[in-house]
C-alpha cells in the first residue's frame, strides 16, 4: 500500500444503465444521454428535456473515473493497529519526511483493513485526496490505466483550484487512450504543481493506493503496469 502527499506535483451521477428509460427512450438500452438536449414531439405538443450539468462537470466526466461506491472493506477493530496509525500520523505531520510512504506485509497481515481505516481517518481530517484499491479478477479495478484518471477526478472534486487548472490541462491529453504517462503528467503533476503555486498554504491531500501487485490481471497489461510503476517512482 502506498501513500502520496501531493505537495510537489461534483456530484455523483447514477449510472445510466441503472435508470429506467422513459418518454421516447422507453424500451431502449445502454443509454447515456446525461449531457444532451432532446425534444419529445407528441402531436402539437413539444417537451424539451434539458440537461443542466455544468460544462466543467461534463469535461470532468470524460475522465471516466472508476465507480467505487459499492465496494466496502471492513476496518480495523477499535483500539487495534494504533502503533501503525501513530507512525502514519507522524509522517503526515512531518513536512520534511519522504513524500511516499510504503506499508508492506505478508498476505493476511491486515494491510487491507488498515487501508480502509485510513480512508476514514484521512477523510475526517480533511486530508484524503483520493483512494484506489486494485483488485485482481475485476476487469476495471485491475486496469493500470484507470488509476490517474480516477485520482484526477477525485482531486478535482475536492479542490476547486485544481479542478479549474485540470479542465484547461485536459486539452493536452485524451483520457480515452491508455496513455498512463501522459495521464500522470497532464492530469496530476502539472495541475497539482500549479494549484499549489496559487495556494501554497492549502492543505496537502494524500493519495492512498492499495494492492499494486493486483493491477495486471491480464498478462497483456504488463507493459502498462510497468509504465504505471514508473510514474509512481517519479513522486520520490
> What total number of domains does the chain contain?
1
Q: Which residues contact 145 (CB under 8 A, 6 or more apart)?
A: 178, 180, 183, 224, 228
Q: How confident is the model at residue 28 (pLDDT cuts 50, 70, 90)?
A: low
| 18 within a domain of the structure (yes/no) | no
pLDDT of 85 over the 90 cut: yes
| 38 within a domain of the structure (yes/no) | no
Residue-wise pLDDT for 128-160, tens only, equals: 999 999 998 888 899 999 999 999 999 999 898
Choice between 69 and 178, residue whose per-residue pLDDT is larger: 178
- Which of 46, 49, 60, 45 is closest to 13 using CA atoms? 60
Mean pLDDT on 189-204: 86
| 179 within a domain of the structure (yes/no) | yes
Q: Which domain holds residue 156?
A: 2-8+55-233
119 CB-side CA count, 13 A:
19
| 33 within a domain of the structure (yes/no) | no
Q: How confident is the model at residue 5 (pLDDT cuts 50, 70, 90)?
A: low
Q: Which residues contact 7 (CB under 8 A, 6 or more apart)?
A: 95, 99, 196, 204
pLDDT attached to residue 91? 94
The Cβ of residue 127 has, within 10 Å, a number of other Cβ atoms equal to 15
Buried b / exposed e over 56-75, threshold 16 CB at 10 Å, is ebebbbebebbeeeeeeeeb
| 216 within a domain of the structure (yes/no) | yes
Question: Measured in whole angstroms, how far is the alpha carbon of residue 20 from the centre of its chain?
Answer: 27
pLDDT of 79 over the 70 cut: yes
Question: What predicted TM-score, i.e. pTM, was given to this entire model?
Answer: 0.75
| 74 within a domain of the structure (yes/no) | yes
Residue-wise pLDDT for 32-51, tens only, equals: 444 444 444 455 554 444 44
CA distance 68 to 231: 23
Mean pLDDT on 13-37: 46
- Which of 4, 65, 58, 2 is closest to 192 using CA atoms? 4
| 86 within a domain of the structure (yes/no) | yes
Q: How confident is the model at residue 183 (pLDDT cuts 50, 70, 90)?
A: very high
Distances (CA, A) of 175 to 63, 151, 153, 233: 6, 12, 11, 21
Mean pLDDT on 181-208: 90
Amino acid at each position: 500500500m502506498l501513500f502520496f502527499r501531493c505537495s510537489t506535483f461534483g456530484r455523483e451521477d447514477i449510472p445510466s444503465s441503472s435508470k429506467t428509460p422513459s418518454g421516447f427512450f422507453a424500451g431502449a438500452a445502454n443509454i447515456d444521454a446525461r449531457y444532451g438536449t432532446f425534444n419529445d414531439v407528441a402531436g402539437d405538443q413539444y417537451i424539451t428535456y434539458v440537461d443542466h450539468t455544468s460544462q466543467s462537470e461534463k469535461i470532468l466526466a470524460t475522465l471516466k473515473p472508476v465507480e467505487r461506491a459499492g465496494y466496502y472493506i471492513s476496518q480495523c477493530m477499535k483500539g487495534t493497529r494504533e502503533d501503525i496509525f501513530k507512525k502514519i500520523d507522524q509522517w503526515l505531520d512531518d513536512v520534511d519526511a519522504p513524500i511516499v510512504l510504503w506499508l508492506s506485509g505478508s498476505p493476511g497481515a491486515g494491510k487491507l483493513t488498515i487501508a480502509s481505516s485510513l480512508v476514514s481517518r484521512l477523510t475526517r481530517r480533511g486530508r484524503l485526496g483520493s483512494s484506489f484499491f486494485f483488485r485482481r479478477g475485476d476487469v476495471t479495478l485491475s486496469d493500470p490505466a484507470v488509476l490517474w484518471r480516477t485520482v484526477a477526478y477525485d482531486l478535482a472534486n475536492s479542490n476547486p483550484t485544481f479542478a479549474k487548472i485540470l479542465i484547461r490541462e485536459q486539452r493536452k491529453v485524451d483520457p480515452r487512450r491508455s496513455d498512463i504517462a501522459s495521464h500522470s503528467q497532464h492530469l496530476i503533476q502539472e495541475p497539482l504543481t500549479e494549484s499549489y503555486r496559487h495556494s501554497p498554504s492549502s492543505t496537502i491531500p494524500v493519495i492512498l493506493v492499495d494492492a499494486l501487485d493486483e493491477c495486471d490481471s491480464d498478462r497483456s497489461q504488463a507493459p502498462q503496469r510497468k509504465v504505471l510503476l514508473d510514474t509512481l517512482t517519479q513522486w520520490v
